[in-house]
Structure 1
Amino acid sequence: MTTPWSRRRDVRRPLASRVAAPREPVDPARIGWRVVRRRAKGMYAAAVARALEGARFDARQDSRHEHLADDTRVRAELAEWERIEQLLADAAPGTVYDPDTDDVVQAELAAEAAAAAAREAELREAARVAARADELQALRELGTLEQTEPREGDEAARDELTRR
């Protein structure tokens, strides 16, 4: 007997719904920077100095263990604490850290947005080429390919058909 909430094991879902979209590779340094910025938001210089000392202590402790000695994230976190400490040292007294006003953070966000836009444009172009290749394939099967007018970008569609 099956219940409404149990899944039947013999029913297979289509492969397309189970396949995850390609993901960006994990960057431990970027994760470390984001963790530090989230923790440092709203901190004064004295609190950042204490956090930097804690990060230095953790780095020294990690250096004693072979599997932690070359941890990219720990080094990135330490470097980010040092950068934030220097940023607040150069700022007016009483300034708190705010990632929204940090030029380095804003430049990284702009670069990430530009890279995402470029990836999106590449995906749109690949979809357009695939659609045109499907159209050319259908015309070839109908026997009317010779009667169609070539379009700009048909070379990429032909390459796609050749690759298939």
Structure 2
Amino acid sequence: MDSGAVAQALEDARFDARQDSRHEDLAEDVHGRAELAEWERIEQLLADAAPDTVYDPDADDVVQAELAADAAADAAAREAEQREAARIAARADELQALRELGTLEQTEPREGDEAARDELTRRAGSYVQKDVDAWLAHALAAHLGHYRDPDAREAAADLHPTHLLAHAALLTELAHLAPGAGVDQLAFAARLSAADPEATGDLAAFLARARPGADPIGLTAAADIG
């Protein structure tokens, strides 16, 4: 761009800024102010250069620095995504090994196991991993591992499928009805939640309302399901 084209672009940006200032919803437009400031910078760049110099973004140190920063940020984001994917895959491998050893139920879940569960499901062609789901539902209901944190239990409502949440909500209420009941004795809860998650959630919510001091996290999850 030559100086004339830059001057016209600057004038257009100033006109747009004046127009925006007349409208309350546009007066604080950050993008418009940044565009105006950039054209002012470019005009000053040409004013300080030799006569007849044209503007070339490839020779603009500021633009090149911004492009380099953007490229570095994109590379860092990709690297972080790759590290996270590798971590999820490694945890999925670990959970798979534990289930093959028959010791999954003795393992406490960690933060991020929701993603590992999804990875195992993906590997199985979207087939529901019933044992993994039952393990997570029990951990969620019993507040094991990172589910000791109420925030983690609340976040689980957005991370787990409906049937798993219904299973956990029903297990929570059954634990109050039959304290000390073993996991094997409550296996029917998984079948109910798999067959009809909505009805299972309704049942859990009904049982929660029928007892005093209901766990607000469990009750909220059950109500959401129902």
Q: Give the TM-score category using the shorter length.
A: 0.5 to 0.7
Equivalent residue number for residue 53 of structure 2:
95
- Could you tell me how far apart the structure 2 residues matched to 1:74 and 1:134 are? 47
- Could you tell me how far apart the structure 1 residues matched to 2:74 and 2:7 are? 35
**RMSD of aligned Cα (Å):** 2.2
Spell out structure 1 runs of 4+ moving beyond 4 A.
none
How far does the alpha carbon of each residue in 1:126-148 deviate from its partner, in whole angstroms, 9 at most, with x for none? 11111111111111111187xxx
Q: Which has the higher contact order (CA 8 A, sep 6+)?
A: 1
Unaligned runs of 5+ in 2: 104-108, 114-144, 147-159, 161-226
* Greater share of residues in helix: 2
Equivalent residue number for residue 55 of structure 1:
13
Change (3 A) 1:160 1:56: closer
Unaligned runs of 5+ in 1: 1-42, 146-156
Between the two proteins, what is the percent identity of the paired residues? 59
- Could you tell me how far apart the structure 2 residues matched to 1:160 and 1:84 are? 47
| Partner SS for 2:112 | helix
Equivalent residue number for residue 32 of structure 2:
74
User: Aligned runs of 1:7-156 on 2, under 5 Å?
Assistant: 43-143=1-101
- Could you tell me how far apart the structure 2 residues matched to 1:143 and 1:61 are? 70
Q: How many residues align?
A: 111
How far does the alpha carbon of each residue in 1:50-105 deviate from its partner, in whole angstroms, 9 at most, with x for none? 32122212211221122221111211111011010011111111111111111111
8 Å Cα contact 1:133/1:158 also seen in 2: no
